[in-house]
Amino acid sequence: MRPKLLYEAYENDFLIGAAVSRKNLKNYHTLLKNFNSITPENELKFENIHPARDNFNFDDFDKMVSYAKENEKVVRGHTLIWHNQIPKWLVEEKNLDRQNLLKDMEMHISTIMDRYRNSVYCWDVVNEAITDENDGIFRDTFWKRYIGNDFIDRAFFFAHEAVPKAQLYLNEYNLEIENKADKLIEVIKNLKKNHVPIHGVGIQGHYSIYFPKIKMIQNMFEVFSKLDLMLQITELDVSMFRFEDRRKDLKTPTNEMIENQKRYYNKLFKLFREYKDLISGITFWGVADDYTWLDDYPVQGRKNWPLLFDIRHQPKAIFNELISRS
Ligand code: GLA
């Protein structure tokens, strides 16, 4: 009997996804067999898919959607409204005000969602709207500045109107930190009070072998289990470095790092399974260590090894452990 694929090992628990770009589909084709969900890494970002007011560039994402269909995977839509990777035409518009921006927002959301109504089952409608600072709840972004605090409400209403059956998520990071989780809860309460159609919270999950402690993640699940929303881990990776660590000299991970990462992923997946009724999907932000955004963040040009497959596309020991656990 052939060994199980990763998604098969968790088939009764949640979807297992990976973020990938169109140009890497071929390169990762064999490894992608382990995932039953994909997320476009950048193809749906505003500046890429909507580079001019009257011009949408659907080609890249169309190709990804066909690939997903041919290979029997579902697609997570990431992301519609975010403060990064937005185009010049939008930001530099002459008559920028609430009404005009709401029109642009609606046009953006409805055009994209309508096109992919039968190929994308869930959307990160808004990404990273909450501030990490002690200066209130919302991050000071382009969207908030011109539309106001209800830009999240509006985005979700537009999305629901475009495709009523789509699952709509609010995606965030650092939710393992109590202060930020409290703000999220406040936001969700208000959305619900205003009858905003929201179905889930996306937890990015950019972790490291040092932080957050698994207990913090469990506490977050406990608190969020009362929200009456689904949860998804949307951008999982486990960096080998503390965030403050700016070393650049390591060419390969140390044995200690590899062991710590194995331990961390093991505990993490044990926890995910305990909360499987709450969690509908786990998506990794990448496929194998030969290509990860962490090679350039937070230290430009520093190699990192955050995923389940190594730089030569070989499964790490942890990959086999996660599979044999089922
Ligand atoms: C954020 C975004 C993702 C991606 C990652 C890393 O978490 O939500 O789309 O851009 O940063 O690059």
pLDDT at 162 over 70: yes
Query: What's the 21 CA to ligand 1 centre distance in angstroms?
Result: 13
Q: Is the peptide bond before 3 cis (omega within 30 degrees of 0)?
A: no
| C-alpha gyration radius of the chain | 19
Confirm whether pTM is higher than 0.95.
yes
Per-residue pLDDT of 169-178, as tens digits, reads: 999 999 999 9
Quick: pLDDT tens for 134-160.
Answer: 989 999 999 999 999 999 999 999 999
Q: Whole-angstrom Cα distance, residue 214 to residue 272?
A: 10
Ligand 1 pocket, 293 CB below 6 A?
A: yes
- Ligand 1 atom having least distance to the Cα of 234: 8
The response to whether residue 127 sits with its C-beta less than 6 Å from ligand 1 reads: yes
Give the pLDDT band (50/70/90) at residue 326: low
> What is the distance between the alpha carbons of residues 118 and 96, in angstroms, rounded to a whole number?
33
Which of 43, 172, 176, 235 is flagged as catalytic? 235
283 Cβ below 6 A of ligand 1: no
CA dihedral 318, 231, 169, 308 (to 10 degrees): 0
Nearest-CA residue for ligand 1 atom 6 is 293
Residue range 219-229, pLDDT digits in tens: 999 999 999 99
| pLDDT class of 1 with cuts at 50, 70, 90 | confident
Taking the C-alpha atoms of residue 294 and residue 317, their distance in angstroms, rounded to an integer, is 21
Length of the chain: 326
Look at residue 231 in the predicted model and tell me its pLDDT.
98
The residue among 122, 119, 12, 121 whose CA lies nearest residue 68 is: 119
Distance 95 CA to ligand 1 centre (A): 29
The mean pLDDT value for 27-33 works out to 98
| pLDDT for residue 28 | 98
Beta bridge partners, 15, equal 281
Confirm or reject: Cβ of 204 under 6 Å from ligand 1.
Answer: yes
Spell out the SS3 assignment of the chain.
Answer: CCCCCHHHHCCCCCEEEEEECHHHCCCCHHHHCCCCEEEECCCCCHHHHCCECCECCCHHHHHHHHHHHHCCCEEEEEEEECCCCCCHHHHCCCCCCHHHHHHHHHHHHHHHHHHCCCCCCEEEEEECCECCCCCCCECCCHHHHHHCCCHHHHHHHHHHHHCCCCEEEEEECCCCCHHHHHHHHHHHHHHHHCCCCCCEEEECCEEECCCCCHHHHHHHHHHHHHHCCEEEEEEEEEECCCCCCCCCCCCCCCHHHHHHHHHHHHHHHHHHHHCCCCEEEEEECCCECCCCHHHCCCCCCCCCCCCCECCCCCECHHHHHHHHCC
Q: At what angle do helices 317-324 and 255-274 cross, to 10 degrees?
A: 20
pLDDT tens figures, 94-129: 899 999 999 999 999 999 999 999 999 999 999 999
Give mean pLDDT, residues 48-62. Answer: 98
Q: Is 235 a known active-site residue?
A: yes
Over range 83-97, report the average pLDDT. 95
> Would the pLDDT of 207 be above 80?
yes
pLDDT at 325: 75
Atom in ligand 1 nearest the alpha carbon of residue 204: 7
Residue 43 Cβ contacting ligand 1 at under 6 Å: no
Q: What is the mean pLDDT of residues 22-34?
A: 98
Exactly one of 43, 128, 172, 176 is catalytic; which is it? 128
Q: What is the pLDDT of residue 141?
A: 97
Q: What's residue 144's pLDDT? A: 98
Mutate to test the pocket of ligand 1, among 38, 285, 296 (most ligand atoms within 8 A of CB): 285
CA of 324 to the centre of ligand 1 (A): 30
Region 269-289 average pLDDT: 98
Q: Is 291 in the pocket of ligand 1 (CB under 6 A)?
A: no
pLDDT of residue 65: 98
